[in-house]
Amino acid sequence: MKQRQIIWTMVFLLTGTFSLGAQTTKQKALEQQRQQLLEEISVINELLFATKDEKSSLLVTVQSLEQKISVRQNLMRITNEQANLLTREINGNLNSVEQLKKELSALKEDYAAMILKSYKSKSQQSRLMFLLSAENFLQAYKRLQYMQQYSRFRRKQGLDIEQRTLALNRLNQLLIEQKKDKEQLVIQSRQEKAQLAKEKAEQEVLLLALKKEEQTYGNQIRTKQKEARKIELAIDALIKAAIAEANKAKGGAGAKATVFDLTPEAEALAADFKNNQGKLIWPVAKGRVMTPFGKRQHPQFPNVTQDHNGVEIITESNAEARAVFSGEVLQIQQLKGANKAVYVRHGNYITIYNNLAKVMVKKGQRVYAKQPLGTVFTHPTTGQTILKFFVYQNTQKLNPASWIYKM
């Protein structure tokens, strides 16, 4: 019966330890997410609100605040999830403590009874008589083995008590730490909730002011979209021309081609680029996506639809655009009324770095990952530094978020 109890105890401890390990891993993952969100808020404060002054557009401020609120809501969700997980861990560990206390009590009782029994027959004379009273040598040998086994079992029981006591102490210490962590998370959750309420109140005031000027801002957005569309059409035309030029130089398909005629070296580079999908570095050292890829309804003006062939990344003043992967500078573009753009070819893939004030590379130059390509332009009115980043495969537009690490 006691042997069965020991087996079940071992199973309980092993499964309890495994469960705790799994939960601790999840807790670490949640903490990592929480730290990333805190870093995002820090980046938003640094990049989106650092230049806030009288000249800043009301629309820009609203959009910046909206991003901050979105991240803070995610932060609160993760913080609450952490607190809930800690509560479950604490409850599980409390049950484990009670179970360990019962086991320790039972072990101590058994050990005390064993010591008492051993004490009563402790004398050397009693042990000797027990051996000498054997009917034959074999029985005496078996009695000696029994005495040795009994002695080992006593030592094992003492060791079990010591180990259970250590396990109990460790678990109690862990509970103290977990309760402190939970208290800290509750405090942080309250602070985040208060900050979120403050930001939402500020957002409501700004949205009311924006509503009064809805037509003006709506027209401004549409004008910007027309300008952006012109640039995107120019990009499409330049890519087609560059493909035709590259193929013609190689003696390939010629001027009407819309697909690069690849050399074995270019094929290898394209394959390498594709294999790094989702793992490419950001085109700026520090930044955040302000406008995502694709078609979407404007968050402030439902009647306005936005469609972007790339992403807009806000970064710090004087930031350098950098190559996301090794390749060759395909073209440097300067459109009338727009800033410069650098096109980098990676086999049959192209990455485009637009809205540069200054360019640091030349057409035909080989570049490597992280190599500076140019300085991103800072708008004199809004004070914002925004890189417009595109990814193409031949003439096909691709979502940069699918290629850049954690974009």
Instruction: Measure the CA angle with vertex 280, ends 274 and 282; round to 5°.
Output: 145
The β-bridge partners of 354 are 341, 388
Inform me whether the pLDDT recorded for 157 exceeds 80.
Answer: no
Inform me whether the pLDDT recorded for 210 exceeds 70.
Answer: yes
Band the pLDDT of 10: cuts 50, 70, 90: very low
Measured distance CA(209)–CA(56) in Å, rounded: 14
| Residue 350 pLDDT | 98
Arithmetic mean of pLDDT over the chain: 81
| Residue 221 pLDDT | 75
| Residue 13 pLDDT | 44
| Residue 121 pLDDT | 54
AA identity, residue 106? A
Task: Sort strands 305-308 and 294-297 into parallel, antiparallel or unpaired.
Answer: antiparallel
2-212 has CATH 3.40.50 classification: no
> Tokens at residue 274, please?
């594709």
Architecture of the 224-402 domain: Distorted Sandwich (2.70)
Q: Yes or no: say if 283 and 324 are a contact pair by the CB < 8 Å rule.
A: yes
| Residue 91 pLDDT | 84
Alpha helix locations (H) across 49-123?
58-120
Q: Report which DSSP code applies to 321.
A: E
| Residue 68 pLDDT | 87
Band the pLDDT of 151: cuts 50, 70, 90: low
Distances from the Cα of 391 to the Cα of 65, 177, 229, 241, 283, angstroms: 28, 48, 16, 17, 11
Give 174 or 78, the one with higher predicted confidence: 78
Q: Yes or no: say if 393 and 352 are a contact pair by the CB < 8 Å rule.
A: no
Inform me whether the pLDDT recorded for 130 exceeds 60.
Answer: no
Give 131 or 221, the one with higher predicted confidence: 221
As a whole number, mean pLDDT of residues 360-388 equals 94
CA-wise closest residue to 100 among 10, 1, 7: 10
Query: What residues does each domain of the chain span?
Result: 2-212, 224-402
Q: Yes or no: say if 327 and 363 are a contact pair by the CB < 8 Å rule.
A: no
Inform me whether the pLDDT recorded for 165 exceeds 90.
Answer: no
Most confidently modeled range among 32-36, 220-224, 291-295, 364-368: 364-368
Q: What pLDDT, in 10s, does the model give residues 241-273?
A: 999 888 888 776 555 578 999 999 999 999 999
Q: What pLDDT, in 10s, does the model give residues 283-341?
A: 999 999 988 999 887 777 777 777 889 999 999 999 999 999 999 999 999 877 679 99
| Residue 265 pLDDT | 94
The β-bridge partners of 376 are 356
Q: Yes or no: say if 253 and 247 are a contact pair by the CB < 8 Å rule.
A: yes
| Residue 256 pLDDT | 59
> Tokens at residue 229, please?
């569309």
Inform me whether the pLDDT recorded for 2 exceeds 50.
Answer: no
Inform me whether the pLDDT recorded for 11 exceeds 50.
Answer: no
Give 229 or 305, the one with higher predicted confidence: 229
For the entire predicted model, the pTM comes to: 0.67
